[in-house]
Amino acid sequence: MRVGLLTEGGYPYASGEARLWCDRLVRGLAQHEFEVYALSRGARQAAGGFMELPDSVRRVRTAPLWGERRDGGSYGRRERRRFAECFGELAAAISAPGGPGSTGGPGAPDGPGAPGVPGAATGQADRFASGLYGLAELARERGGLPAALRSETAVRALERACHTPGALQGAHRVRVADLLTVAGALERALRPLSLDWYGDGSAPAGAGADPGLSGVDLCHAASAGPAALPGLLARRFFGTPLLITEYGVRLREYYLATAARPAAPRGAALSGPVRTLLASFQGRLAAEAYARAALITPGNAHARRWQERCGAAPDRLRTVYPGMDADRFAEVGERGTGTESGGGRSGGAGARADDGWTLVWLGRLEPAKDVVALLHAFAQVRRAVPRARLRLVETGPAAPTVGGYPAHCRALAAHLFPDEAADAHTVGDNPVSFERLGDPELPTAADAYAAGSVVVLSSVVEGFPVGLVEAMFCGRATASTDVGAVCEVIGGTGLVVPPRNPRALGDACLELLADPARRERLGAAARARALELFTAEQNVAAFRGIYLELMSHCPVRREEFGPDGEPVPFARPAEAHIPGRWAAIRRPGPAPDDHIPSWAAARPGSDTGPGPEPLGVGPCAPLPGEARP
Residue 281 three-state SS: helix
Main-chain phi, psi angles of 12, to 5 degrees = -95, 15
Spell out the domain ranges in the chain: 1-65+198-323+535-572, 83-95+113-188, 327-534
Whether residue 406 is predicted with pLDDT greater than 60 in this model: the reply is yes
Condensed to tens digits (0 to 9), the pLDDT of residues 602-619 reads: 444 444 444 444 433 334
Q: How far apart are CA 298 and CA 546, in angstroms?
A: 13
**Model confidence at 424: pLDDT above 70:** no
Does the pLDDT at position 599 exceed 90? no
In the DSSP assignment, the letter for residue 322 is: P
pLDDT digits (tens, 9 = 90+) for 477-534: 999 999 999 999 999 999 999 999 999 999 999 999 999 999 999 999 999 999 999 9
1-65+198-323+535-572: CATH number: 3.40.50.2000
Q: Do domains 1-65+198-323+535-572 and 327-534 have the same CATH topology?
A: yes
> Residue 104's pLDDT is what?
38
The pLDDT score that the predictor gives to residue 558 is 58
Residue 206 reports pLDDT greater than 70: no
Inform me whether the pLDDT recorded for 421 exceeds 80: no
CA 22/CA 369 separation, integer angstroms: 26
pLDDT of res. 570: 57
Mean pLDDT of 364-376: 95
Contacts 24+ apart (CB under 8 A), 111-120: 111/166, 113/166, 114/166
Position 172 confidence tier, pLDDT thresholds 50, 70, 90: confident
- To the nearest 10 degrees (0 to 180), the angle between helices 502-513 and 371-384 is 50
Angle at which helices 536-553 and 19-28 cross, to 10°? 70
What percentage of the chain carries pLDDT values higher than 70? 76
Let me know if domain 327-534 sits in CATH 3.40.50.1220.
no
Minimal CA–CA distance to 215: which of 54, 62, 392, 2? Answer: 2
Mean pLDDT of 353-359: 80
Q: Mind listing the pLDDT tens digit for each residue in 34-72? A: 999 999 988 888 888 899 999 999 999 999 998 887 666
Confidence tier at 125 by pLDDT (50, 70, 90): confident
Q: What is the mean pLDDT of residues 177-190?
A: 94
Identify the residue with better confidence: 577 or 85: 85
Decide which of 403 and 558 is more confident: 403
pLDDT tens readout for residues 556-597? 555 566 666 666 665 555 544 444 444 444 444 444 444 444
Q: Specify the pTM.
A: 0.80
Question: Do 374 and 412 meet the contact criterion of CB atoms below 8 Å apart?
Answer: no
Report in angstroms the alpha-carbon separations of 363 from 406, 408, 431, 459. 12, 16, 19, 10
Q: In what order do the strands lie in the sheet with 295-298?
A: 57-64, 33-40, 2-8, 218-221, 242-246, 295-298
